[in-house]
Amino acid sequence: MHIPSSEGKTGGEVGILWRWVRLLALGALGWAGQEWLLQSPLLLAGGVGALLAWVALFWLERRSSQAEWLGALGLLYDMTLAGVGVWLLAHPQAWWLLFVPAIYAARQYAAWHALMGAFLAPLTVGVIASVAPERFADTATLWGWGAGLLGGHLALAWVAYRPATTPSPEVMEQVTRVLEQTESAHRELRHSYRELAHHYRRLQENLETLNDVVELFTALRQATTPTEAYRLILERLRSRFGASGAALYLADETGFHLRAALGVGSLARLQGTVRVDAPRKSARQAVEQQVRQALETLCERVPESGEDAHAIGAGANPRLLTLPLRTPQRLLGMLTLVARNPDGFDTATENRLHAFLPHLLALVQLYEQIEVMGLRLQEIQALHDLDNLLFTVATPTEIPRRALEVLKSVVPFEYAQLYLPDEEQLTLHASLPAFAEILPMLQFGQECGWQGWLQQKTHLLSITDTHESPHVPDPAALAPIRSLLLINLQSGARPAGVLALGHSQPHFFTEGQTEMVQVLVAHLGLVLERARLLIHLEQLAITDGLTGLHNYRYFQERYKEEVRLVKRYRHPLALMLIDLDNFKQINDRYGHLEGDYLLMQVAEVLQSTLRSTELIARYGGDEFVVLMPSTNLQGAQTAAGRLLQAVSGTRFSTTAGQPELSITLSIGIAAYPETTEDPQQLLELADSALEKAKRTGRNRAVALENTA
């Protein structure tokens, strides 16, 4: 027959308390019977065995919580202790101790332990009575305690075995429903608590991120340019996230090239470094490599990062944290921070950085759009300035240099040269700053310089590094230029020149800058073509169509200007009027065509004989005028003598090429201050001198002197 347990398990608070009560009882028995233990080695061995048995029971009860045989061993052990206690006390009322172990065993294990106690208790009474009859002489009392213990244990077994009252099915169903509802409520409460804790943590994280963003935007109110804004951002990140240095890399329009836009702290020297050229997949490794090189110059080494080093919660937090600023379309840049702590950034800091990253990305996008708009405005302004060059320069020859200055305001080059066509070759018309000619140092196929460039039939050539380009046979000759752009200037369908832009950093010119330069250069070609036409029109306006000399109108403007200068500075001024002797006879004899051809040849003699600083103009018909600044009367007479000798000694050709024509000159000379104190009278006095030369026999020069 199975006897059910009253509790069905050991362990628990009652079991733990009983183990220590058992040990306390063992200690009390040892203290009470120390006289016998010290006198009898057998009893001492028994006491030690009892202690070891307690240890064994303690270990077994800790290992197994459902073994009923442990209850039997414990009951036997406890009955032994109780029996020894009764023997030591030797008092009739001490027999109740034999009842206590059965109560604990029946409660903790099963009802049949009480039946076992009903057997062990009288047996213990009999053993004690037989071992120490002298201590318990009253036999009737012993038999009474034995019977009482037997009856008490049987009653305890009946109480422990008695089945509990079974409630009705309705009550059980109601209790079950209540228990299920309670358990469901507990589950919902636990779930709500976990959800509330999760939202609370998220709220804390969002508040931290909000504080970071609010502080950052508050600081950005002080920034007026994107560079100042980026500096404030990096300084705030460095101070709030425990970084010794921070750097921001920005990508160009393609997303394949990164440049160090700004660095602060230990990464401050990254500002102005060369661009990092890398595909998108290896951009982070390229940035980290450059940052490590910069830190090694400060004798600060950073350990290598693994592939998953930047994952949130990674096992090893790196000191160098590189985070991409990426949109679904392209890579905008990289944010790099170096931890001040040698152990690197902790997980909480990385979480905050990742939460802050979308806000930084939005700022970078905003400033990128502002920068693009600024570049477009600069481009429009540059186009406007190029258009205005024709109206703001003193002479069209200033346009090439002024055009380079306009381009400098938009494109940050360090060297620029503009080559324009001159007769059958390209010549350097402007250089900013003064530098050796770049184009002759370049090779294109078998040819060098402008001839090789024209054979290339290429509108644009970008040399990203002159040290690695086949077009640069001698990189040292181009030093310190490392990046070079060559762009054709077009004027309609024909080339109008070449623009060369250089920089000391390799891979400097971005795709956007190159496109902008192409737009500006195309417009510059039109401006230069208009300037060329304007120069040509000006030349036509001031040039005599037959002789190629200056015309009468231009002479009058220069004469008035020289008169003003003479009045102000009082320097000498001379003027010659020249007339061809008997020119009408040549026209009558050979015709006007031959006469015009003779005038052209005489003009060439005048140009070759006189100095380039002297203005020669056709005064009208067969007359010429020579304006001679800073020349006195004697100098003018000497020049007139050379002219008379050169013309009279020349056999002029006809249109058929036959040297048949001869002619002489009559020259009238007036000079300030030798002829007059009023330079405005020079032309009138030179005309009078010319009339005198004609009257006195021609082929001579007459100079008027002041007779006043």
Residues with catalytic function: 622
| H or E element in which residue 666 lies | strand 665-672
CA distance 219 to 211: 12
Q: Helices 347-392 and 169-220, interaxial angle, to 10°?
A: 30
| Dihedral, CA of residue 16, residue 20, residue 23 and residue 27, to nearest 10 | -170
| H or E element in which residue 46 lies | helix 41-63
Beta bridge mates, 335: 248, 323
- Quick one: the chain helix, strand, coil %, rounded to 5? 55, 15, 25
Beta bridge mates, 700: 666
DSSP string spanning 215-255?
HHHHHHTT--SHHHHHHHHHHHHHHHTTEEEEEEEEE-TTS
Residue 582's region, left for phi above 0, alpha for psi from -120 to 50, else beta, is left
CA distance 117 to 98: 8
Size of the chain in residues: 708
CA distance 701 to 356: 94
CA distance 263 to 336: 9
Residue (of 497, 479, 500) closest to 404 by Cα position? 500
CA distance 120 to 72: 11
Both tokens of 9, joined, read 């398990």
Contact in structure between 416 and 435 (CB atoms under 8 Å): no
| Dihedral, CA of residue 83, residue 85, residue 91 and residue 96, to nearest 10 | -60
Q: Which residue has the tokens 């380009």?
A: 469
The CB density around residue 683, as the number of other CB atoms within 10 Å, is 19
CA distance 586 to 495: 47
Any idea what DSSP says for residue 328?
S
Beta bridge mates, 339: 243
CA distance 465 to 277: 12
CA distance 513 to 460: 13
CA distance 520 to 522: 5
Give 436: exposed, middle or buried? Use CB within 10 Å, 0-12, 13-18, 19+. Answer: exposed
Q: Would strands 665-672 and 700-703 be described as parallel, antiparallel, or unpaired?
A: parallel
* DSSP reduced 3-state for 425: strand
Q: Would strands 447-448 and 460-463 be described as parallel, antiparallel, or unpaired?
A: unpaired
Going through 445-529 in order, the beta strands assigned E by DSSP cover 447-448, 460-463, 483-491, 494-503
Amino acid at 596: D
DSSP string spanning 599-665?
HHHHHHHHHHHS-TTSEEEEEETTEEEEEEET--HHHHHHHHHHHHHHHHT--EE-TTS-EEE---E
